[in-house]
Structure 1
Amino acid sequence: MAKKIILPNGCYMGTPSVTPKNWKTGGSTLLNKDWQIQYYFYPANNGKRKLVAIKGMNSLKDLKDRRIVTKGLIEDEIENNKIGYNPIEKRFVQDDHQDEELHPYLYFITAFRIVITKIKCTEKHRKEMGWCVNRLEKKVVKLGLKNVTIEQLKRRQLKQLLESSELPDQYFNKFRSFLSSIFNELIEYECCDYNIVRDIRKRTIVEKQREILSLEHHKVIMDHLQKNHYEFWRYANIFLFSGARSTELFRIQAKDVDIKSQEYKVTILKGSNPKEATKVIFKEVIPLWKEVLLGAKPNDYLFSKWLKAGKAPINSSQITKRWSRLVKKSESIVDENGKVIKVTADFYSLKHSFLDSLPEAVAMEIASHTNSKTTAIYRVNSEKRAREKLKGLDIGSTLFG
C-alpha cells in the first residue's frame, strides 16, 4: 500500500506512482506510451477516495525532458496539496495567503503566492501558477535570495531562478508567461514599478510536425467506430464540426443548445481569461446533436457517462483513454486488403486529417481559427501534396529548350 501523506483539512493522499513503471530507466520506446502519474486522494471525514491522474508530460517528445517534467509534476502535486489544494473540488480549500495584504516589502515568493489568489483565472490555471512558484522556491536558498523582497527582486535574479530550475524550453516559456501575469498584477498593487519579466526572452522552440492520419485511414477508423462504438463515433463527428475542445464540449448542458438557431453556448476556459462564446452547429451534424439531446433535461451534461446525456460531468481525459483502448490497441481496424492498421496518432489527429480535407477558408470557419497560420498547423498533409505537385512540374523545357 502506498505511504500516506498527511494534508491540511483532515485530508491525506497516497504516494504518487507513475505508469509506465520503468519511466526512470527504460529506453526510447517509452515515448510511444502514454505516461500518467496517479495517486489516491482521501477527503476528510472518511469521504470516498478519488483516483487522481496527471498527464501533463505527454506532449514532450524528448525522453530526458519528459522525465524531468514528470519528477517535477509529482513534487508540485504533493506541495500544492500540502498547502490546501483539493483535487476533488479542483480548488484551494484553505489558502493561508488569501486575506494577506500586498506591499513592496514582502518576501517575493510570498508576494507571488498572494497574487495568485487574486488573479482572475480558471482553477486549473491557478494551480499551474502554483506549480511554477513551487519550482522556483526550491532554488531560492541556493541562489541566496531568501531575504529578497518583491521590491528588491532584479530581472537578473529571476532569470537565474528560471535557468537553475532546469526547465525544458516549452516549460521555461510557460513559466515566463505565468510570471509576467504575476508582475502585471503586482504593478497594480504598487509592489514594483515595471514588469521585469518583459525583457527575459522566450526560448526558441522548433515545433515538430504532429503525426496525423491519412484521409484513407481516417475514413477506415471512422467506419470502424460507427459500426462498433457508435457513441464514440457520434462524439467524434460532433467534435470535428464543433470548433471546440473536448474540455469545452464536456461542460455543455442541454440548456446551452438551441437547435432551431443552430447554435450552442460554451465557456472557453483557457489561461487567465475564461469567456463565453456562441458557436455554430453545422447542418451536417444536426441529427447527431438531436440524438444526444433526446430525453435530456435542461441541466444534464450532454457528454456524461458513456458519452450520453447525464447529471454528472466527466473528465475529458476519457476521450484519450477511449481512443487508446478502442483505436490504438485495436486489432480489428483493417484496410481494404484486410491488413491491420496500427494507429499511433492521437485523437486530435482526427481534427488534423478532417481539416486537411477541406478548403482552407472552410477549415478556418469550422475550427474557429482567426487566422490562416493557425489553420495551417492542422493542415499538414496539404503541404505534403503541394511538395509532391512541385516534384512533378516540368519547368526545365521552357528554359533549356
Structure 2
Amino acid sequence: MNRAKTLKEKQEITQTIIANEIKNLERGYNPLTNEYVVEDEHLVSEFTPFVKACEMALKSFHGVESTIIDLNNSMKHIVNYATILRLENKELKNITKGDIKQLLMKMTIDKHSNYRVNKTRAHLSKFFSHFTELDIFQVNFIEGISKLEHTSKKKNIIRTEEDWKKFHKIKDLNYSLYIFLNIFLYSGCRFEEMIQIKKEGRHSRSMRPINMHVWKYWKRICEIAQPHQYMFSFDQMPNDNPVKAHSLYDLSGKHIRKVGLDMTEYGLKHTFLNLVSKDFGLSKAAEIAGHTNTKTTEKYAVDWQGHQVERNKKIDISI
C-alpha cells in the first residue's frame, strides 16, 4: 500500500489483492502451507489457465502420427498468440468467443494464410468440444466463428503419358520404393494405414481390393514376409518393427521430385482416385478409398466435376 497516494488507489489495490486471493483459493491454494493441494495436474477444470487446459486436452487425444503433429503445430500458434493477447493465464471458464476471434484475427494480421488460420480454428474447436464434454461450457462456441474463405490450390497429379514415364523412372533409382509406390497408388490408402499392415495380423481389419495391376507386387511381398511382420517397413520390406510414416513421406517425396514430377507423394493417391472417378464415378472412388461419403473423395478426385460434365454430355434421351 506504500505506493498508493489516495484512498481510491488503496481501494483498487485491495480489490485486486482480494480477487487474486479468491482465484488462488478456487484453484486449491492453501495459504497456511503455501501450496496448491486440490488442483490435479492431470484434470482440466474451469479454473485451469487457458493454455495449460489446451495442452492437457492435447495430451488426451489419440490419432495417427500426422494428426498429432498437425495438432502440435497449431498448439504453437495458440500459445504464441494467447501470450501476445495475455490470454495464456486467463481461467478457462472466462475465455470468450471474442477472445478466440481476436486470437485468429491477430494471426491474419500477421500474414498467416487463411488455410493456417482455419486449421487453428478447427483444432481450437476440437479442444473446446473436449471442454464442453467436461461441462465447463454449455456449447462449443468456436463453431460460431466463421471460417475464412479459402480456395485450395489445384493438386498436381499424373495426367500425361510423359508424367507416367517420369514416375516409372523411380524403378531405376530405388526398386523397393517403386514397388511400394505402385502398391500405394492403387490402394486408395494413406501412408499411416500402409505401415500398419501385417501378414496374418490380429488388429482391426479393413477390407480393401488388391488391384490386378499390382497383385504381382503384393504376392512378392507376402512371400518374403514372416507371420505377424509389418509388410512395409525399413527399405519398404517386411520387418518385425514398424517404420515411421514421416520417413516414407520424405523418401517418396525426394524420389518423386528427383524424376521431375512437380507433385507430392500424395499426388499418387489423388491420381488413382481421379482416374477411378473418371471411369466409374465418384461413389466408386469413395468406396475404394474407404470414405464414408463422397464429400471427402471430392478433395482427391480433383477433376471429378469436369469428368461429370463430360459424362452428362453423352446422356442420350429420345423425346
TM-score by length of 1: 0.57
Change (3 A) 1:348 1:144: closer
Q: 1:363 aligns with which of 285, 293, 308?
A: 285
What runs of 5+ residues in structure 2 fail to find an aligned partner? 1-38, 313-319
1:77 match? none
2:48 match? 106
Q: Aligned partner of 2:265: which letter?
A: F
CA contact (8 A) 2:230 2:239 kept: yes
**Could you tell me how far 1:374 is from its partner in structure 2?**
4.1
2:208 partner SS: strand
The equivalences for 1:2-401 within 5 A come to 99-122=41-64, 125-126=67-68, 128-145=70-87, 147-165=89-107, 166=110, 167-226=112-171, 229-256=174-201, 277-330=206-259, 342-358=260-276, 359-361=279-281, 362-380=284-302
Q: Aligned partner of 2:90: which letter?
A: V
Q: Aligned partner of 1:241: which letter?
A: Y
Q: Aligned partner of 1:348: which letter?
A: Y
In the alignment of these two chains, the number of paired residues is 268
CA contact (8 A) 2:65 2:245 kept: no
Q: Aligned partner of 1:102: which letter?
A: V
Change (3 A) 1:195 1:353: closer
Q: Aligned partner of 1:160: which letter?
A: Q
Change (3 A) 1:98 1:280: farther
Q: Aligned partner of 1:161: which letter?
A: L
2:43 partner SS: coil
Distance in 1 (alpha carbons) for counterparts of 2:113 and 2:294: 28
Q: Aligned partner of 2:55: which letter?
A: R
**Could you tell me how far 1:124 is from its partner in structure 2?**
5.2
Larger Rg: 2
1:279 partner SS: coil
Q: Greater share of strand residues, 1 or 2? A: 1
Change (3 A) 1:216 1:384: farther
Distance in 1 (alpha carbons) for counterparts of 2:104 and 2:117: 7
CA contact (8 A) 1:107 1:149 kept: yes
CA contact (8 A) 1:98 1:114 kept: no
**Could you tell me how far 1:387 is from its partner in structure 2?**
8.2
Change (3 A) 1:304 1:199: same
Q: Alignment RMSD, CA only?
A: 3.4
1:139 partner SS: helix
TM-score by length of 2: 0.70
Q: Aligned partner of 2:54: which letter?
A: F
Which structure ranks higher in relative contact order (CA pairs < 8 Å, sequence separation ≥ 6)?
A: 2
Distance in 2 (alpha carbons) for counterparts of 1:157 and 1:299: 50
2:103 partner SS: helix
Distance in 2 (alpha carbons) for counterparts of 1:122 and 1:377: 20
**Could you tell me how far 1:201 is from its partner in structure 2?**
1.0
CA contact (8 A) 1:150 1:192 kept: no
Alpha-carbon displacement from aligned partner over 1:283-332 (angstroms, at most 9, x marks no partner)? 443332121011312232111222111223223344444445544324xx
**Could you tell me how far 1:98 is from its partner in structure 2?**
7.9
Change (3 A) 1:311 1:357: same
Distance in 2 (alpha carbons) for counterparts of 1:325 and 1:285: 23
What runs of 5+ residues in structure 1 fail to find an aligned partner? 1-96, 258-264, 267-275, 331-341, 391-401
Distance in 2 (alpha carbons) for counterparts of 1:312 and 1:105: 43
Q: Aligned partner of 1:200: which letter?
A: I
1:40 match? none
CA contact (8 A) 2:46 2:92 kept: yes
CA contact (8 A) 1:360 1:372 kept: no
Distance in 2 (alpha carbons) for counterparts of 1:150 and 1:297: 52
